[in-house]
């Protein structure tokens, strides 16, 4: 939302921290986001989630029609709905916390051949003379073994012209196959680093890799700043339909990558110029937005991406602050909503190499499912939505300090919060555990509805008093207002339960359809790999209890952490693995669930929770 009148700038001060100028024609949410201050805004600035709350200490705010806006209860405003009318001072904000995307699994990196596409080579040039006259280009070719196929970038030729007059005994060249991208004076071969990015809808992770050793030496994560424009990819595609919207979503994610590069360099004690090689894994929408390519075709029949694979390119294409001679490769996508993050996850866990019948489920803001092994793989994307990240839930939040992540119900409600702080909300794993407890104790039926009052009366008093009606909807209070960090009840509503039912049904139905298409039964699945940020914290017993994952031997279910990040690192380390990524992209068969004739019937059946928990 943006005004077209009264364009000027005013001073915005965040009490006790910082001050900066903001335009009066942009909402406070957008201005804060562009300043790197991330608020929860799961509705994409539509004013419906109510999570981007700020308190104005001095100054006035207006709506899009220049009308003065009065605060809500406790002097709160929604940052997405107000514009600064004059200099403002706002209270310290509660920023959106960064979710962990899970660990990079060393066991999947153990046997990787160290054959990165980018390498350094030390040469000892023989300089031309009047008697032995040849170009500096020919000098480099001779020093590199006389390969006539070697080509030199124009930017590298400029560096050569600066380095050669020093008549150095040794020059380091940066090359990819037969292409030379840079020259460096002396022996710099010990300094060769890369960054593998996993761009998720909610969290962006970066892994700094020593390419000489083949090891991850630092990792960092940031909240994806695009989240302020919508929690899911559909919202962001809508936001990117205008040129201004596309440019904004592109610029904020590029800034996020540069912020991660800076963090990684500080942690490792290196310079940006020491980074030469970058791999990027993200879903189709994230990769389109990173490259500044409109993703609108993903939502318009016949629902195809603009690209599946693009050649490597120099860092200035996406304004990435690394060595100017470096290169970036965006891993290939499979289909419209099955992106490079799924390709990277497959490579990350070696699903394309194993003979075991494997089910890989990546539980993040989006849900991707892969069934198969080295012989054949079927993939699909489910409409999981951001509920697993705590979005679209009445008291939902990310897995940050103060989030309820575990719930047990007996004579009363017992819960645990992250870092054991006062409860601020409930994250996805906590909601799954709570709902499993609801079914087990008898607070809700297998249909997902709260039980009637007469059945609640049969439960202990400490349980029954928690089922209340608020705004015409039943909800179960986990933490009453006086004991929460927010001064509000932390509850699970009937709508929250239905949201989880829709998500779990879409995943389970996707698994069923893939198995049907493959021609196998549940019993034939030899391992179930759970990947992704949410999967990293998931209580598997509760997931099985509510029917989120297929009924299987508990021992077959293996959490694998950030499989996409692992795959992005492996692709960076080996050109052979990069080729595996391209092979997976072309041979994995995409199943469009919405077009499957049995989808709707299966989906409705799977909404209910299993009997006999």
pLDDT tier for residue 261 given thresholds of 50, 70 and 90: very high
Mean pLDDT score, 94-110: 61
pLDDT tier for residue 42 given thresholds of 50, 70 and 90: low
Mean pLDDT score, 94-100: 56
* Dihedral sign, Cα of residue 231, residue 236, residue 238, residue 242: positive
* Residue corresponding to tokens 């508990």: 554
Going by C-alpha positions, the residue among 422, 389, 425 that lies closest to residue 227 is 389
Mean pLDDT score, 556-572: 93
Neighbouring residues of 563: CB distance < 8 A, sequence distance ≥ 6? 102, 105, 108, 344, 345, 348, 349, 360, 362, 529, 531, 532
pLDDT given for residue 206 in this prediction: 96
Contact criterion met (CB below 8 Å) for 380 and 405: no
Model confidence, pTM: 0.87
Domains of the chain plus CATH, in order, are 9-90 (3.10.20.30), 119-185 (3.10.20.880), 341-386+500-607 (3.30.420.40), 391-491 (no CATH)
Paired sense of beta strands 527-531 and 358-363, if any: parallel
CA dihedral 313, 562, 569, 352 (to 10 degrees): -100
Going by C-alpha positions, the residue among 538, 482, 541, 547 that lies closest to residue 511 is 547
Q: Give start and end residues of each alpha helix (H) in 145-196.
A: 154-163
Mean pLDDT score, 76-83: 90
pLDDT digits (tens, 9 = 90+) for 274-321: 999 999 999 999 999 999 999 999 999 889 999 999 999 999 999 999
Gap between the Cα atoms of 260 and 544, Å rounded? 36
pLDDT given for residue 479 in this prediction: 97
pLDDT digits (tens, 9 = 90+) for 108-117: 777 788 999 9
| Residue with more model confidence, 421 or 7 | 421
Neighbouring residues of 152: CB distance < 8 A, sequence distance ≥ 6? 137, 140, 160, 179, 180
Mean pLDDT score, 359-385: 89
Contact criterion met (CB below 8 Å) for 81 and 37: no
To the nearest whole percent, how much of the chain has pLDDT over 90? 70
Across-strand partners of 530? 361, 559
pLDDT tier for residue 103 given thresholds of 50, 70 and 90: low
Gap between the Cα atoms of 55 and 78, Å rounded? 9
Please give the angle made by the CA atoms of 29, 24 and 228, to the nearest 5 degrees.
15
Going by C-alpha positions, the residue among 174, 185, 189, 192 that lies closest to residue 270 is 192
pLDDT tier for residue 231 given thresholds of 50, 70 and 90: confident
Helix, strand and coil percent figures for the chain, each rounded to 5: 35, 25, 40
Does residue 105 have a pLDDT over 60? no
Q: What kind and span of H or E run contains 247?
A: helix 243-268
| Residue with more model confidence, 3 or 441 | 441
User: Across the chain, what does the average pLDDT equal?
Assistant: 90
Mean pLDDT score, 14-27: 88
pLDDT tier for residue 96 given thresholds of 50, 70 and 90: low
Q: DSSP code of 16?
A: T
| φ/ψ of residue 302, rounded to 5 | -95, 25
Does residue 1 have a pLDDT over 80? no
pLDDT given for residue 290 in this prediction: 98
- Count CB atoms within 10 A of the CB of residue 95: 14
Mean pLDDT score, 72-90: 87
pLDDT given for residue 571 in this prediction: 97
pLDDT given for residue 613 in this prediction: 53
pLDDT tier for residue 95 given thresholds of 50, 70 and 90: low
Mean pLDDT score, 478-482: 97
Does residue 99 have a pLDDT over 80? no
pLDDT given for residue 254 in this prediction: 98
pLDDT digits (tens, 9 = 90+) for 389-416: 677 789 988 888 899 999 999 999 999 9
Contact criterion met (CB below 8 Å) for 123 and 140: yes
């Amino acid at each position: 939302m943006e005004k077209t009148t009264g364009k000027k700038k005013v001073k915005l001060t965040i009490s006790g921290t910082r001050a900066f100028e903001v335009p009066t024609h942009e909402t406070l949410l957008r201005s804060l986001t562009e300043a790197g201050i991330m608020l929860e805004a799961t509705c994409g600035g539509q004013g419906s989630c109510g999570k981007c709350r700020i308190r104005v200490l001095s100054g006035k705010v207006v709506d899009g029609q220049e009308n003065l806006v009065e605060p809500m209860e406790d002097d709160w405003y929604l940052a997405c709905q107000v514009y600064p009318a004059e200099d403002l001072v706002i209270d310290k904000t509660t920023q959106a916390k960064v979710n962990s995307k899970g660990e990079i699994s060393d066991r999947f990196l153990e046997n990787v051949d160290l054959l990165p596409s980018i390498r350094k080579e030390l040469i000892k040039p023989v300089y031309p003379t009047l008697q032995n006259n040849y170009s500096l280009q020919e000098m480099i070719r001779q020093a590199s073994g006389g390969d006539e196929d070697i080509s030199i970038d124009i930017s590298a030729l400029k560096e050569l012209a600066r380095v050669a007059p020093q008549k150095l005994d040794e020059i380091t060249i940066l090359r990819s196959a037969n292409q030379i991208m840079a020259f460096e004076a002396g022996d710099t071969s010990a300094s060769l680093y890369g960054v593998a990015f996993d761009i998720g809808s909610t969290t962006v992770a970066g892994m700094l890799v020593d390419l000489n050793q083949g090891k991850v030496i630092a990792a960092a994560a940031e909240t994806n700043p695009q989240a302020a424009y919508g929690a899911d990819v559909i919202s962001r595609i809508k936001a990117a339909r205008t040129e201004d919207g596309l440019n904004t979503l592109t610029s904020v994610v590029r800034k996020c990558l540069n912020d991660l590069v800076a963090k990684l360099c500080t942690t490792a004690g290196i310079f940006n110029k020491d980074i030469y090689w970058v791999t990027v894994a993200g879903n189709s929408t994230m990769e389109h937005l990173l490259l500044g390519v409109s993703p609108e075709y993903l939502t318009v029949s016949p629902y195809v991406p603009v690209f599946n694979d693009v050649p490597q390119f120099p860092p200035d294409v996406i304004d990435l602050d690394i060595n100017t001679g470096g290169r970036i490769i965006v891993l290939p996508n499979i289909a419209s909503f099955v992106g490079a993050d799924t390709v990277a996850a497959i490579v990350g866990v070696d699903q394309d190499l194993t003979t075991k019948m494997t089910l890989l489920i990546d539980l993040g803001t989006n849900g991707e499912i892969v069934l198969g092994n080295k012989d054949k793989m079927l993939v699909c994307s489910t409409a999981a939505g951001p509920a697993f990240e705590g979005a679209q839930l009445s008291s939902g939040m990310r897995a940050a300090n103060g989030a309820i992540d575990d719930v047990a119900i007996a004579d009363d409600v017992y819960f645990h919060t992250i870092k054991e702080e006062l409860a601020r909300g409930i994250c996805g794993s906590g909601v799954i555990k709570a709902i499993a407890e609801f079914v087990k104790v008898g607070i809700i039926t297998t249909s997902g509805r709260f039980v009637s009052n007469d059945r609640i009366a049969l439960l202990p008093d400490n349980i029954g008093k928690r089922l209340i009606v608020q705004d015409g909807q039943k909800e179960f209070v986990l933490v009453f207002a006086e004991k929460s960090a927010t001064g509000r009840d932390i509850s699970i509503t009937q709508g929250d339960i239905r949201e989880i039912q829709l998500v779990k049904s879409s995943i389970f139905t996707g698994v069923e359809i893939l198995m049907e298409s493959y021609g196998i039964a549940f019993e034939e699945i030899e391992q179930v790999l759970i990947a992704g940020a949410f999967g990293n914290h998931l209580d598997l017993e509760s997931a099985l209890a509510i029917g989120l994952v297929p009924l299987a031997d508990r021992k077959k279910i293996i959490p694998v952490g950030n499989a996409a990040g692992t795959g992005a690192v492996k692709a960076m380390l080996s050109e052979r693995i990069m080729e595996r990524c391209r092979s997976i992209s072309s041979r994995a068969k995409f199943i469009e669930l919405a077009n499957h004739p049995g989808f709707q019937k299966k989906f409705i059946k799977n909404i209910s929770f299993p009997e006999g928990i």
